[in-house]
Structure 1
Amino acid sequence: MRTSRYFEELKSAYDAELDDLMTDSAGHDILASRLQAKRSQVRQLLPMIECNPEMVAVAFHGGFSFANPAMMSDLATREPEDLPAWQTLLSAVSLEPWAADLARVVLKDANGARFLVVTACLEFLRGASTGSSTEGARQQPPGDREGDDEDDADLDIDLEEAGADWLSEQGFDRKDRFSGDN
């Protein structure tokens, strides 16, 4: 996936921040407890959202679901001055209830809306690079799914087409395998 220089650098810092939170000095997995601590400190961390957004963004790890992967992929190619408004992005993402509560806190800050756009993109990129579903935190446990690989391929095509339709409605040129504009 192509990313802007801004998101490439920020994603590297974000991944490093998450990696630092994963284990203690003995190698025990303590990510959940450290994320909970970050979430409880969001108000105190707000001054960092402009200079070190990755350090606060980790509080939202696992809190986003992505309904429009094409829009998120487009977002990842943008530089900071070209980012859309948070309200625009709401049609492409949804938040877990706990993350929605954190978002309300963040949105009280003058830079909160922009920070949420950046955070959503970082979470999307993290999921894309780890091979996670584009559905983010709402992945179905193995064995709970019905269907086969053919159903998955149909779903991928449907999501791709829906994303291309949405981007076209927003005024972007339609470039997908359905229109022949590869």
Structure 2
Amino acid sequence: MKKRIGSLILIMIMVLQMGVTVFANDENALPEGVTKTEINPSDIPEGIVPMEFSTQEEADAYVREAFKEIPSTPPAVTRATNGDAFIDSHAFGAGGVISLRLSYTTSGNGNTGTITRHEPYTIVSGMNFSYDWQESSRGSSIQPGGKDVYAYANGTLQLYAHTSVGDWNIYAIPVNLSGIAYIIR
């Protein structure tokens, strides 16, 4: 009987330790959707300066903060015949932003008439010297009623990192931007 109780206690201790270990590892996991790929220095695009870290753990910790989801500001109603509207954005790193914007034209003055042209585009701004934006798709369409335009852009944001122990990595996260520009009122 004492052997059984001792065995049960030993099994419970082992299960509890495994549970704690799994929980601790989850805290250090990369954000959902982020992938990490080892690369050669020759794979780094021209103009990209990899971010330097002392250890791989330090690089992973930075990525957990840099790729956090930050809510974007909703688009404002636009008021010009030829205009440019903010649609959506994705913030990253220390002040970097990918913005989806829409260039448009209407047939009347002061946002009247019909929408005659709508062209979405993305801009990367802020602190982004170690990052690369790879846009994979972009488009727009006039919504039913003909007064608003839906726009989207999808792609991958990549961070190039180098550690002092010689590791070269790309951290990548998919970015999907979309929204509606309210043009004719």
Question: TM-score by structure 1 length?
Answer: 0.24
Q: Computing the radius of gyration over CA atoms, which structure comes out larger, 1 or 2?
A: 2
